[in-house]
Amino acid sequence: MSTATKQEIILDAYVALLYEHGAREATIDATAKRSGLSKAGLLHHFRSRQALDTELVRRLNELIDADVAAMGADPAQAVHYYFASSME
């Protein structure tokens, strides 16, 4: 498994914990357990919770950029696209 894939798995686990239990429960230990790694394994990829937060913000910015590009590609459908893609 590539480093990028492990980082994605870790970040997905972190996001799931944040969503399901909030910031207090989304600890390094809980994230490691949920992602199937040891704490040391997680810390090899992300040195701290702040590093996880930084990567999460980077991922969110990528998603925002992709949404803006998709809406810009067809301005007449921008509102429809926004609502359709925001239903999750």
Tokens 């696209």, residue located: 81
What span, in angstroms and rounded, lies between the C-alpha atoms of 69 and 75? 10
Average pLDDT over residues 33-46: 96
Tokens 């997680």, residue located: 42
In this prediction, residue 88 carries a pLDDT of 59
- pLDDT, one tens digit per residue, over 56-80 is 999 999 988 988 887 778 777 777 7
- pLDDT, one tens digit per residue, over 9-33 is 999 999 999 999 999 999 999 999 9
Average pLDDT for the chain = 89
